[in-house]
Amino acid sequence: MDTVVESRRTESALANKGKYRRPSQAEAEAAVRTLIEWAGDNPDREGLAGTPERVVRAYEEFFAGYNEDPVAVLATTFEETAEYDEMIVLRDIRLESHCEHHLVPILGKAHIGYLPAGRVVGISKLARLVEVFAKRMQIQEALTSQIADTIQDVLKPRGVGVVIEAAHQCMTTRGIRKPNVSMVTSRMLGSFREDRTTRQEFLSVIGGQRNVSHES
């Protein structure tokens, strides 16, 4: 599925979330108990007695992004920039997400660059934007597009570049079991897509000539 379509599908699901009844904490804990029993253990034994509650609390942290508005994160911008119009790059942003296919961790880092058009945003807000989308059930391709598209839509810069490098435990700890493998995805918009020099400058700043396509 096209990543933009997937991104819109996720946004639509979030918009309609209020139409569905969210299970209670007790129901969620009961579901965890069922999984423990299905795996072959006793959820009432001492070591597992508090596990359902702990898992539910952990899920509240893992998927906190569903309760946050990514547009609101970038709402506060600054126009007093002394006419700064060069590239702004925030690199090596720690990324922790979960694969929507197996609900296992995706661990890596994101790099964000943009060319401002009169407005800039605090750098902590860029890191926060990554968190909002990462704290959801994801595929890396959609995550990359969601971050770049939101920056483009809200800040309206001359261009945006997002590169994500991450390891997926759905293939490193299960299935094909190939450790030390990372996936690289990119989303280039505006001048980052159209101008090879701009794109190469961004890739150089984030750490060398990475093997990523501007076609995202």
* 3-class secondary structure, 111: strand
* Catalytic residue of the set 6, 111, 138, 140: 140
Is 138 noted as a catalytic residue in this protein?
A: no
Is 101 noted as a catalytic residue in this protein?
A: yes
* Catalytic residue of the set 11, 68, 102, 214: 102
Is 68 noted as a catalytic residue in this protein?
A: no
* Catalytic residue of the set 6, 111, 165, 170: 170
Is 25 noted as a catalytic residue in this protein?
A: no
Measure Cα distances from 100 to 88, 93, 117, 137, 179 in Å: 31, 21, 35, 5, 20
Sign of torsion over alpha carbons 44, 50, 51, 57: positive
Is 102 noted as a catalytic residue in this protein?
A: yes
Is 98 noted as a catalytic residue in this protein?
A: no
* Catalytic residue of the set 100, 169, 201, 214: 100
Instruction: Copy the structure tokens of residue 110.
Output: 């994101």
* Catalytic residue of the set 98, 99, 111, 146: 99
* Catalytic residue of the set 27, 101, 194, 200: 101
Is 214 noted as a catalytic residue in this protein?
A: no
List alpha helices for the chain, DSSP H. Answer: 3-15, 25-39, 51-62, 70-73, 123-134, 140-155, 169-172, 191-194, 196-205
What is the distance between the alpha carbons of residues 215 and 193, in angstroms, rounded to a whole number? 7
* Catalytic residue of the set 6, 111, 165, 168: 168
Q: Active-site residues: which are they?
A: 99-102, 140, 168, 170
